[in-house]
Amino acid sequence: MGQPGLTSYEPAFADEVAVLMRHAFDFMQRPDGSAVYLRLSTRPVPQVTREDAAWEADAIRGGYWLRQPQVGAEAAIVCSGTVTSEALAAWEELREDLPGLGLLNVTSPDLLHREWSQRHAARWGGGAPQPCHAESLLAPLAPHAGLVTVLDGSPAALSWLGGVRGMRVSPLGTDRFGQTGDLPDLYRTYRLDTAAIIDAAAELFLM
């Protein structure tokens, strides 16, 4: 999830790569900067249409709403990296059954978790806790909302978000290795595909 002296990002779309690389070249040269790691993929991913550039600042901070939830929504899908395509497909299928459903694209679990940890550590260092980006992102959701988290990596990298506001979580990710095959077969085997996200949402929200 994170390593001291290294800031990591996992962009899902080409425009995210451009924004994060531009930020990285600036950030590495700051006195308080660090090395920056981008986890990239060669997988072809359908690109999204942007209405404006308002998402860019949030992407640099670690995440933004790809599909904004309604205020008080009881459900959201949280994704990171190339499985965003599967998360988008699941969101399309679920949005009628789950009114106000949001889709949160996490560009850096590292930054979100680091800032959240620093907020809690401030009380022991005598400082005043500052609002963190993870709290701001999840603020529109109902306090009892549920999250389905999914990424091509350890489920723990996103499942901790449930602890930010005490939300229920159904985490999807890779916790075992060894299979070979094409991407659809592997995503189905490791439960990273659209069907797995829908099943996790049904278990969490509809039962």
Handedness of CA 191, 193, 199, 203 (dihedral sign): positive
Total structural domains within the chain: 1
Report the alpha-carbon distance of residue 79 to residue 69 in Å, rounded: 14
**Which is nearest to 164 in space by CA: 95, 112, 206, 127?**
112
Report the alpha-carbon distance of residue 36 to residue 5 in Å, rounded: 9
CB 170 within 8 A of CB 205: no
Asked if residue 70 is part of any domain, the answer here is yes
Check residue 120 and give its pLDDT.
Answer: 75
**Which is nearest to 175 in space by CA: 192, 196, 163?**
192
CB 139 within 8 A of CB 72: no
180 SS3 class? coil
Per DSSP (E only), the strands in the chain are 6-9, 35-38, 63-67, 73-80, 102-106, 141-151, 168-172
Provide the token pair at 38. Answer: 């981008």
Asked if residue 26 is part of any domain, the answer here is no
Check residue 125 and give its pLDDT.
Answer: 67
Asked if residue 29 is part of any domain, the answer here is no
What Å distances lie between residue 79 and 39, 104, 124, 125, CA to CA?
14, 6, 32, 33
Check residue 94 and give its pLDDT.
Answer: 95
CATH number at residue 167: 3.40.50.920
> pLDDT digit string (tens) for 29-73?
999 999 999 999 999 999 999 999 999 999 999 999 999 999 999
Q: Find the length of the chain.
A: 207
Asked if residue 133 is part of any domain, the answer here is yes
20 phi, psi to nearest 5 deg: -75, -35
Asked if residue 189 is part of any domain, the answer here is yes
Asked if residue 3 is part of any domain, the answer here is no
Asked if residue 142 is part of any domain, the answer here is yes
User: How many C-alpha atoms does 105 have within 13 Å on its Cβ side?
Assistant: 27
Asked if residue 102 is part of any domain, the answer here is yes
| pLDDT < 70 stretches in the chain | 1, 122, 124-129, 206-207
Q: Residue 178 is part of which domain span?
A: 56-206
Check residue 204 and give its pLDDT.
Answer: 86
Check residue 3 and give its pLDDT.
Answer: 83
Check residue 121 and give its pLDDT.
Answer: 74
